[in-house]
Amino acid sequence: MGNNHDNETPPLQGRGKGWGLSNVLREAARALEPVSETSRLDAELLMAHALGISRSDLLLNLPKLAVPDAFAALVERRKGHEPIAHILGEREFWSLPFQVSPDVLIPRPDSEIMIETAVEIGAERPPRNILDLGTGSGALLLSALSEFPYAQGVGIDASAAALGVAHNNADRLGLADRARFLLLDWTAQDWTQILLQSFDREPLSAGPFDLILANPPYVSTEAELSREVAEYEPRAALFAGPQGMDDYRIIIPALHDLLAENGTALLEIGFNQADMVSRLAEKNGYSVECKQDFGGNDRILVLRYSAT
C-alpha cells in the first residue's frame, strides 16, 4: 500500500474543490502572518481576486470552488510586502471602489475622517466648489462629490500618472461630469494664479473654493517606514523635509488666494504635527480645530478665516 496523502496540507495551488480550497486558504494565511496583521483577510481577498469573484461570494461558495492556478503567485507577491491594494488594483474608500497603482498613495481608512468632517460641515452649508490639493487617486475629491450632488470639483497633482488614475476613477464612479483634474505643482511660481485661470470656462469654474481638501506629503525624511510603504508607494507623495512641514509652508499661505470667505480648508496631518501646523495656520489668520482619527491620533485640521 502506498502512503495516504489525503491528510497532508495541500500546496497553495490546491488539488480540487471544497476541502482543498479551505486548507489552501489556511496555509496561505499562515504563510502571510510575518508580513500582515490581517493575513486571513489577505488570503481571502487574493483568492477571490484569482477566482474573479467577490470575497462574499468566495465565503458563500467555498465547498463548490477549486483553487485557481494564479493564487500561489499572488501569495508570493504579498509575501514580498507588496501592498494588497496594488495586487488587487483597487481599494475601497468611503464605501467606493477606487483604482490604485504604484503612482498614487493607497487611500487609508483614517483619511475618511476628512470626508466625515466635510459632511458634518456641509450639512449646514453644502459646498458648491471643491478643491483637492494633491489629488492622487482622486479618493478625497470624488468621495466628497458623491456626498454633495450639486458640487463641482478640481483636483490638482504634480504627477501625470496619478492624474490618469484619478480620471479613470471619476469615469468609473460616474462623476467625470463634475470633476476636473489639472497637472500642477504647488512648488511652481504663481501656481495659484495658474489654477484660478485654468477653468474659467463653463460648466466648471475654479474658485474661490467653498471647501479645500489637502492630504499633502507630511512624512519626515528621517522617518523609518514599513517596507510596504517605503518600497511600493510614491516617495514624492510621502516626504516633506526633516519635519514633514515643507508642503504646509507652501499650501497654508496660498489658501488666501483659493478659499472663499466663508469656506473651510481640511488638512490631513501626521500624528505629531498638530501643534506645528496649527501655529503656522494661526499666523496666517486662520482659526484651527483638530479632529482625531479612529486610533485617537490627531489627523485633520479644520481651518477657517479667523473672526479676530
In the chain, which residues fall in CATH 1.10.8.10? 19-80
d(CA 120, CA 135): 21
pTM for this model (two decimals): 0.89
Q: Is the pLDDT of residue 202 over 50?
A: no
- Measuring CA to CA, how many Å separate 154 from each of 117, 128, 131, 187? 19, 11, 5, 18
Q: What is the pLDDT of residue 307?
A: 65
pLDDT score of 1 more than 80? no
The CATH code of the domain at 19-80 is 1.10.8.10
Task: Report strand pairing: 286-292 vs 179-183.
Answer: unpaired
Give the bridge partners for 304, in sequence order: 287
Helix ranges restricted to H, 33-83: 39-51, 55-60, 71-79
3-state SS class at 125 = coil
pLDDT tens digit sequence for 93-108: 999 999 999 999 999 9
Residues of the chain with CATH 3.40.50.150: 93-305
What is the side-by-side strand order in the sheet with 179-183?
179-183, 152-157, 129-133, 209-214, 259-268, 298-305, 286-292
pLDDT at 9: 39
Q: Over the chain, what is the mean pLDDT? A: 90
DSSP state of 37: T
CATH 3.40.50.150 for domain 93-305: yes
Q: Which sign, positive or negative, has the C-alpha torsion 245, 249, 250, 251? A: positive
Output the nine-digit C-alpha cell for 49: 481576486
pLDDT confidence band for 19 (50 / 70 / 90) = very low
